[in-house]
Structure 1
Amino acid sequence: MSNTLKDLTAGTAGGIAQVLVGQPFDICKVRMQTSPPGTYSGLMHCAGDILKNEGPLAFYKGTLSPLLGIGACVSIQFGVLEWFKRYFAARNPNPSVNALGSGQLAFAGAAAGLANSVVSGPVEHIRIRLQTQSDKARLYSGPGDALRKIMRAHGVAGVYKGQVPTLWREGVAYAIYFVTYEKLMQREMRVHAMRREDVSPAKAVLFGAAAGYALWAVIYPIDVVKSRIQTDGFDAASGRKYSSTLDCLRKVWAAEGVKGFTRGLGPTLIRSPFANGATFLGFELASRALYGSR
């Protein structure tokens, strides 16, 4: 099996772990981001409302789309990241992927995020449509139905609604994400004079959690804008509020100020260490099984 195929397989394992752990928190985040101000007083209010009105399975609404899509997204992320790590390592005086500089890792991470956005944009759009629809007024019966109806009515542009903020988010986010994780791994190996595969799984979870917090600390406002646009109407006839990313940014600021860009942050911060720790744990364990000692 080629290195790239191994990286893609390990990334898929990380993506599946991320979805299974993070999905209940994510639906609360999206509901809080996109509902009218004052709908929920906090995470527990939102979660309690979903549980009371829609039942426990509602926390996994739209899961099939991210389970397949996010698995593919994380697979792409790690596939591109590891390819660039090997590319830079081969051209460094010290030819080791464990000695790459922050700039090289940031470039690799940004490239991974941008490559991933081709899949993550429509996957998240469909997931958010499913997460925010009411059981009493269901427009879509599932991800396949949503994809067909959006494509039929609005074409490819409709499926990729919100792609501009998605590109901004993914490029910046994954540069920060992977620099943080890789630098923590490098420090652990240097301080304890060990190989990467000897770093404990618990440390992979801890470093993944730190990487997740670093990511959200920087890009949460653009994630709010992305969610707002992806739940907005497709055109004037369907009640579109925002004409562009910048228009959404201006209107949220004018109507709600800073608070408009932090709604849903609570469940995101609670979800982050679990979901991102699971992602890196899944990737590291799968990589060790596929590569053995390196």
Structure 2
Amino acid sequence: MTKISRTTKDVASGTAGGIAQVLVGQPLDILKVRLQTAAPGTYKGLGDCASQIVKREGLLGFYKGTLTPLLGVGVCVSIQFGVVEAVKRRFNAENAKVARTDLSKGQLYASGALAGLANSIVAGPVEQIRIRLQTQQTRLYAGPLDCASQIVRQSGPAGLLRGMLPTMLRESQGMGVYFLSYEFLVQRHLAETGKQRADLPSVMAMLFGASAGVALWLSAYPLDVIKSRMQTDAISPSERRYKGFLDCASDIYRSAGPRGFVKGLAPTLVRAPFANAATFVVYEWASRQLEPHVK
């Protein structure tokens, strides 16, 4: 096999992890988005939302818009892991100058936050298209490309960046907590057992990934609600309900109070352990397979 760079290994491993994340978590992500964006009273709760999807759209309704996240999330997660590992290597090089062998919690958080900011450039447009496909009750869009073309046609290329501010805030805060949580748990386990990273058991990667996923959403969920509301607003600027980030947040608070910012949290917290356990197990596995071929 041709030798590859460490960055290529990180990106390829992240792509594999991202695909696993989508396949495992998509049905619950549909429920989260529907609950976040529906008018008050539309659903009585998680179970009612699920039953209405089955009744109106069949079981395949839980996989609406899957093509977009399969392509987009694979790219997004590859960016996350590619950037976070590159920044960690930079911090390690700086630490080596002062004879420090491990990364501080602040460095781990900063690595994740920078990865989140880099990822948000792709995540914003991808998630808007995915969410519009997930929430359509009738066939408004023929697919991802048709959805993107309608957005550009009605609001210009900038329309694809709708909700970018909450996306950037969510990604930086969420990914900072995400990678800090995972790496902290991994490093503690390795220190306690005396094992090397390559010997990390898959079951531990699952548990640590599940914990990191829950920590991510608990730290950044309100921003995700605002993002989803903005990204399902009318495409045409003249018909939009929200003027921007603060206006959307104010409207949520006026109409639903603090509870409005945690709407749809239940399916998210159910989904997070499974989707992120799959992400890290597959990432660690792919990373180990590719490691012998790194230059």
TM-score norm. by structure 2 comes to: 0.95
Q: Distance in 2 between matches of 1:267 and 1:214?
A: 15
Matched, 1:27 2:30: yes
Give the AA of the match of 2:15: T
1:193 is matched with 194
Q: Pairwise CA RMSD of aligned residues? A: 1.7
Q: CA deviation at 1:187?
A: 0.2
Matches within 5 A, 1:1-294: 1-93=4-96, 99-135=102-138, 138-235=139-236, 237-238=238-239, 240-292=240-292
Report SS of the residue matched to 1:92: helix
Q: CA deviation at 1:40?
A: 1.1
Q: Which moved more, 1:97-106 or 1:242-251?
A: 97-106
Q: CA deviation at 1:149?
A: 1.6
CA 28–98 in structure 1, closer or farther in 2 if over 3 Å, else same: farther
What residue ranges of structure 2 are gaps of 5+ in the alignment?
none
| Deviation digits for residues 24-80 of structure 1 (CA, Å, limit 9, x no counterpart) | 000000000000112111111111110111011111100000000000000000000
Q: Which moved more, 1:20-29 or 1:98-107?
A: 98-107
| Deviation digits for residues 137-189 of structure 1 (CA, Å, limit 9, x no counterpart) | x2211001111121122122111111011011001110000000000000000
Q: Indicate if the aligned counterparts of 1:90 and 1:96 stay in contact, CA closer than 8 A.
A: no
Q: Distance in 1 between matches of 2:43 and 2:171?
A: 28
Give the AA of the match of 1:216: W
Q: Distance in 2 between matches of 1:95 and 1:67?
A: 42
Report SS of the residue matched to 2:41: coil
| Deviation digits for residues 60-116 of structure 1 (CA, Å, limit 9, x no counterpart) | 100000000000000000000000111111121389998211111111101100000
Q: Which moved more, 1:168-177 or 1:148-157?
A: 148-157
Q: CA deviation at 1:237?
A: 3.8
Q: Indicate if the aligned counterparts of 2:80 and 2:119 stay in contact, CA closer than 8 A.
A: yes
Q: Indicate if the aligned counterparts of 1:181 and 1:207 stay in contact, CA closer than 8 A.
A: yes
Q: Indicate if the aligned counterparts of 1:197 and 1:293 stay in contact, CA closer than 8 A.
A: no
Moved over 2 A (4+): 93-98, 234-238
Give the AA of the match of 2:199: D
Give the AA of the match of 1:156: P
Q: Distance in 1 between matches of 2:237 and 2:154?
A: 14
Q: Distance in 2 between matches of 1:285 and 1:98?
A: 25
What residue ranges of structure 1 are gaps of 5+ in the alignment?
none
Q: Distance in 2 between matches of 1:283 and 1:209?
A: 13
Q: Distance in 1 between matches of 2:9 and 2:62?
A: 32
Q: Indicate if the aligned counterparts of 2:13 and 2:286 stay in contact, CA closer than 8 A.
A: yes
Q: CA deviation at 1:258?
A: 1.4
Report SS of the residue matched to 1:119: helix
TM-score norm. by structure 1 comes to: 0.95
Q: Distance in 1 between matches of 2:54 and 2:253?
A: 31
